[in-house]
Amino acid sequence: MSCPAKLIAWGERIGVGCAALVRWQMDNRPHPEQGYRCCLGLQRLARQFGHERLEAACTRAMAIHSPIYRSVHSILASGTDRQPLPAQPTQTSLPLHENVRGPDYYH
């Protein structure tokens, strides 16, 4: 088995998205060893699909808040990694209009 430092270094060689996903696997498990299987699966996907596609898939998986092996594999298998990421919505609050009561209504 590999140690977490080696797996993180491998992820960094692939790219920023892959490194973020590997770090997430190591940091968000009770024991880093529990993330090994996912990371070894990512290495297998790199051999199968190539580093560039794996990086795009990892970036997309992190963007959709699903940093798990199954999501990365699904993204690669469906070719979604070749599509641009959807734009993030810029509107963070509701627009003002007569149907919105406002905070004064409740006091």
Distance, first Cα to last Cα, the chain? 62
Please indicate, yes or no, if residue 94 is contained in any of the structural domains: no
Distance in angstroms (rounded) separating the CA atoms of residues 75 and 66:
11
Q: Which long-range contacts (CB under 8 A, 24 or more apart) does 61-65 make?
A: 61/17, 61/21, 62/17, 62/20, 62/21, 62/24
Total structural domains within the chain: 1
- Residue-wise pLDDT for 40-50, tens only, equals 999 999 999 99
Residue 68's domain spans which residues? Answer: 4-84
Q: Identify the pLDDT of residue 1.
A: 47
pTM of the model: 0.77
- Residue-wise pLDDT for 64-79, tens only, equals 999 999 999 999 999 9
Token pair, residue 5, equals 């430092």
pLDDT at 98 over 90: no
Q: Identify the pLDDT of residue 76.
A: 96
Please indicate, yes or no, if residue 68 is contained in any of the structural domains: yes
